[in-house]
Copies of this chain bind each other. A is one copy, B any other.
Amino acid sequence: MEKARLEAFSDGVFAVAITLLALDLAVAGPGPGNGSLAHQLHHHWPAYAAYVVSFFVIGITWVNHHALFKGFAVTDRALLFLNLTLLLFIVAIPFGTSTMAAYLTEGGTDSHVAAALYGLILEGMALSFGAIFVWSIRSDERRHQPLPAGSARGALVRFSMGALVYLVAIALALVSAPASLALIALVAVYYVFEQTSG
């Protein structure tokens, strides 16, 4: 298995998933009872907020995927299936995003369920990513060069933090859906700046 083709396939899935996010931007369009376009766009703001958050969540994961795989010297079939599991959650993000956006301002149990569903999909993504990370550190032969101990610990901390934050977001979803989305957005902003300065 050549790493290049694994990366190319993953890039394709990331690219399609990130683009499908935009399908949820659409408004009902002209028609009796639909209201003015300005009203529709205003009413549809959760979809736009959710689009931006999920776009950067997928984008950051792609960047991390890139950074992690760059260091791999070998691949094996276990990696292929761990990577497929990661992609299973990536591909489900547009679904989680549109469901969360549809219920965000509904309030009540439905909005909590919708935000928790979104958090669960991101948690599944983070855990799959963590599993690939664990695969990579189980043997030094899998990397071009061993990570220095401090760097490995730093990377492990960062991955664990992501998985932990999404758990907190799921718990928060049971109280307030917008607060849960805000937390996930804050983490995305943190990652962008942490990585841009890194």
Interface residues of A (CB under 8 A from B): 1-2, 5-9, 11-23, 25-27, 29-30, 36-38, 41, 51-52, 55-56, 59, 62-63, 66-67, 70, 77-78, 80-81, 84, 87-88, 91-92, 94-95, 98-99, 102-103, 106, 109-110, 113-114, 117, 192, 195-198
Given A30-B106, A80-B63, A102-B29, A38-B5 contact (CB < 8 Å): no
> What is the CB-to-nearest-CB distance from A136 to chain B, in angstroms, rounded to a whole number?
16
Contact A99 B13 (CB under 8 A): no
A105 closest partner in B (C-beta) = B30
| Neighbouring B residues of A21 by C-beta, 8 Å | 91
> What is the CB-to-nearest-CB distance from A118 to chain B, in angstroms, rounded to a whole number?
12
| Neighbouring B residues of A14 by C-beta, 8 Å | 9, 12
> What is the CB-to-nearest-CB distance from A74 to chain B, in angstroms, rounded to a whole number?
14
| Neighbouring B residues of A81 by C-beta, 8 Å | 59, 63, 192, 195-196
A104 to B110, CA, bound (A): 26
Contact A9 B11 (CB under 8 A): yes
Cβ contacts A to B, 16 pairs, < 8 Å: A1-B70, A5-B66, A7-B8, A15-B16, A18-B87, A27-B99, A36-B113, A37-B99, A37-B110, A37-B113, A37-B114, A38-B110, A63-B81, A77-B196, A78-B196, A81-B195
| Neighbouring B residues of A195 by C-beta, 8 Å | 77, 80-81
| Neighbouring B residues of A26 by C-beta, 8 Å | 95, 98-99
Contact A110 B36 (CB under 8 A): yes
Given A9-B14, A12-B16, A25-B109 contact (CB < 8 Å): no
Contact A22 B25 (CB under 8 A): no
When the two chains form the complex, which single residue of B52, B84, B94, B196 contacts A22, counting CB atoms closer than 8 Å? Answer: B94
When the two chains form the complex, which single residue of B15, B77, B102, B192 contacts A63, counting CB atoms closer than 8 Å? Answer: B77
